[in-house]
């Protein structure tokens, strides 16, 4: 059974890695289209005040960091490392990547403190647009940290 679990986890991580690589390509295309459209506007936009561009850039950074982490954890599975430790390590590494990346936009994190609990739950259940997706990711980070306490 353990060998089956190991093989299943390896397949899942490989699928996840491949989907991230595909997603990165589509995000880069979307970012290019968005920037071309935005550059035709005469208004100056700070990327940190533009939820769409901020979300796209952050997701691209996260994917670039996650792919090598996934490869390393797939290798750990192949070497026979304890599966629970590999999964726990991967989850912690994902947390660190997201925490570091979102630390670049502290004003969004501050927003979490001002949103009512009901609104945060609505965002987690059904995010609508890039701003909500950013907040949902920040909630994931906060919930992960709360799990330590």
pLDDT by position in tens, the chain (length 149): 578 999 999 999 999 999 999 999 999 999 999 988 887 665 555 655 788 999 999 999 999 999 999 999 999 999 999 999 999 999 999 999 999 999 988 888 888 889 999 999 999 999 999 999 999 999 999 999 998 77
Q: Which residue has the tokens 């100056």?
A: 44
CA distance 136 to 126: 9
To the question of pTM greater than 0.75 for the whole model, the response is yes
Task: Answer whether 119's CB lies under 8 Å from 139's CB.
Answer: no
Helix (H) or strand (E) holding 6: helix 2-40
């Amino acid at each position: 059974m353990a060998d089956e679990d190991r093989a299943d986890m390896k397949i899942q991580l490989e699928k996840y890695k491949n989907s991230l690589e595909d997603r990165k390509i589509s995000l880069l295309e979307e970012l290019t289209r968005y920037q071309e459209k935005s550059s035709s506007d005469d208004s100056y936009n700070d990327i940190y005040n533009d939820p769409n561009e901020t979300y796209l850039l952050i997701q691209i950074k996260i994917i670039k960091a996650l792919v090598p982490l996934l490869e390393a954890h797939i290798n750990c599975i192949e070497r026979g490392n304890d599966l629970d430790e590999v999964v726990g390590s991967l989850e912690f590494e994902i947390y660190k990547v997201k925490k570091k990346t979102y630390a670049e936009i502290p004003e969004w994190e501050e927003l979490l403190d001002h949103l009512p609990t009901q609104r945060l739950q609505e965002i987690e259940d059904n995010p609508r647009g890039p701003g909500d997706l950013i907040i949902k990711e920040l909630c994931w980070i906060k919930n992960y940290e709360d799990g330590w306490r």
